Amino acid sequence: MFEKMDKNFVLHTYGRNYVNFISAKGSVIKDDKGNEFIDLTAGIGVVSVGHSHERVTKAICEQAEKIIHVSNLFLIEPQAKLAKKLVELSGYDMRCFFSNSGAEANEGAIKIARKYGEVEGKPKRYKVITLEHSFHGRTISTLKATGQASMHNYFGPYPDGFVYAKTMDDIEALCDDHTIAVMIELVQGEGGVESQEKAKVQKLEKFLKARDILLIIDEVQTGIYRTGELFASNLYEINPEIITVAKGLGGGVPIGAVMTTLKDIFNPGDHGSTFGGNYLVCAAALEVLDILEDYKNSGGLDEAMLYFEKHLEKLAENYPNEIQKEVGLGFMRGLRIKDSETLTALIKNAFDEKVLVLKAGRNTLRFLPPITITKEELDEGFKRVEIAFSKLS
């Protein structure tokens, strides 16, 4: 019934798998037939503290009983608290703007850069350099910022001023008098879970700062402890002028943020959001950060990441003909599979074994489990992934 309803009334923008999930707890999701799936995707990196976490659920319910939303024309107490917490945990001297998604956060980052390029010096600087295989969102601007030509079909004309570098090594040569920013993911998610070399990122940062070119780090997927620190930027020991974040910040509710050292770049009216940073989502995000901060400080996060890595290493050892290499960092990892046909078969086999995994670019089997996934859930999930591999032959 619901499959037919979906097909008749919802735009066909997703290649749906018509399973009907009705409840979830931790890293286990149940469908309407009583099947239990191990979720190694976290809703594409969103459910950072697992499904239906008691503390997050309580925070949402308690806030909903008080007040859910007023406009951003008024003080929103949990928004102020969340901004303070993000800044203090990051160690960066920044201010925050809250949106509803990663794409919106990246739009905000582009607007910050473009305004800075307009008001600071001559000639006008507006060009933003991104990397091939990058992914920055699906709005018109962030789609054009995405360095994947196949994603640019149908929706032009696009805003001018986006330039694509083939690799990190090519960025410096592309910078000119009109360049205002370089925008990169430290681990490319949709682009194949490809991590950048720390030394190259630090070299680029030094080059850009000497030329007053802004460094924008898209942390939509890498942020909120997914790579082991609050931000991958902390792990890489860099100081970007702009950071964007979303996905795992709300633990399932829609929230994004752009953070910047350019504290006074916007005047009232330059930017805004009707829903961004309302009471409900900020209350949830504050609880998520508290949970993950405690988990990190206890040593549990680092221990869990090592345990996760051992499972990936075992798969790579057992299936050298199918797996070319391991990629990624922390709880944002992938296995580069030999070809697209094998990858497609693996994902189908995994679903048949009731374990959820993801496909990413460059023939990558992607894993984005809840950051708080237990050892028992990891064991069971990888037991099923192992069966999915074994069924290839």
Q: Which of 274, 200, 264 is nearest to 238 (CA)?
A: 200
Give tens-digit pLDDT for 99-135.
999 999 999 999 999 999 998 767 899 999 999 999 9
> How many angstroms from the chain centroid is the CA of residue 245?
7
- Across the strands, what pairs with 214? 181
Would you state the pLDDT for residue 368? 98
For the chain, state the CA radius of gyration: 21
> How many angstroms from the chain centroid is the CA of residue 165?
21
Give tens-digit pLDDT for 207-238.
999 999 999 999 999 999 999 999 999 999 99
CA–CA dist 349, 335 (Å, integer): 16
CATH code, domain carrying 10: 3.90.1150.10
For residues 121 and 42, the model is more confident at 42
Q: Span 237-247, mean pLDDT?
A: 98
Asked whether the beta carbons of 48 and 292 are under 8 A apart, the reply is yes
Looking at the structure, do residues 330 and 181 belong to the same domain, yes or no? Answer: no
Looking at the structure, do residues 341 and 242 belong to the same domain, yes or no? Answer: no
- Across the strands, what pairs with 359? 365
> Within 10 A of 296 (CB to CB), how many other CB atoms are there?
17
Strands 214-218 and 242-245: parallel
Looking at the structure, do residues 121 and 196 belong to the same domain, yes or no? Answer: yes
Looking at the structure, do residues 231 and 260 belong to the same domain, yes or no? Answer: yes
Would you state the pLDDT for residue 122? 74
CA–CA dist 128, 223 (Å, integer): 22
> Within 10 A of 75 (CB to CB), how many other CB atoms are there?
8
Q: What are phi and psi of 211, to 5 degrees?
A: -115, 10
Q: What are phi and psi of 187, to 5 degrees?
A: -130, 115
Tokens 């594409």 belong to which residue? Answer: 44
CA–CA dist 290, 296 (Å, integer): 10
CA–CA dist 68, 63 (Å, integer): 7
Looking at the structure, do residues 369 and 273 belong to the same domain, yes or no? Answer: no
Q: How many domains is the chain partitioned into structurally? A: 2
- Residues constituting the chain: 393
Q: State which residues form the domain around 48.
A: 2-52+299-390
Task: Write the CB contacts of 79 (distance below 8 Å, at least 6 apart in sequence).
Answer: 98, 277, 278, 279, 282
Tokens representing 389 are 């591999």
Q: Span 81-95, mean pLDDT?
A: 98
Looking at the structure, do residues 170 and 184 belong to the same domain, yes or no? Answer: yes
Q: Span 234-261, mean pLDDT?
A: 98
Strands 214-218 and 179-184: parallel
Give tens-digit pLDDT for 359-370.
998 899 999 999
Asked whether the beta carbons of 271 and 78 are under 8 A apart, the reply is no
The model's pTM is 0.96
Residue 17 is classified by DSSP as: -
Looking at the structure, do residues 88 and 198 belong to the same domain, yes or no? Answer: yes
Give tens-digit pLDDT for 313-330.
999 999 999 999 999 999
CATH code, domain carrying 80: 3.40.640.10
Would you state the pLDDT for residue 58? 98
Tokens 């009216």 belong to which residue? Answer: 269
Looking at the structure, do residues 277 and 307 belong to the same domain, yes or no? Answer: no
End position of a domain, from candidates 279, 297, 315: 297
Looking at the structure, do residues 272 and 303 belong to the same domain, yes or no? Answer: no
Asked whether the beta carbons of 326 and 312 are under 8 A apart, the reply is yes
Would you state the pLDDT for residue 119? 87
Task: Write the CB contacts of 99 (distance below 8 Å, at least 6 apart in sequence).
Answer: 105, 107, 108, 246, 255, 256, 257, 258, 273, 276, 277
CA-to-CA separations, 56 to 99, 214, 387, in angstroms, rounded: 20, 35, 34
Looking at the structure, do residues 158 and 177 belong to the same domain, yes or no? Answer: yes
Using a 10 angstrom Cβ sphere, with 0-12 exposed, 13-18 middle and 19 or more buried, the burial of residue 246 is buried
CA–CA dist 29, 34 (Å, integer): 10
When the pLDDT of each residue in the chain is averaged and rounded to a whole number, the result is 97
- Across the strands, what pairs with 251? 253
End position of a domain, from candidates 297, 327, 360: 297
Tokens representing 166 are 């083939």
Looking at the structure, do residues 14 and 70 belong to the same domain, yes or no? Answer: no
Q: Span 149-162, mean pLDDT?
A: 94
End position of a domain, from candidates 274, 297, 320: 297
Looking at the structure, do residues 195 and 282 belong to the same domain, yes or no? Answer: yes
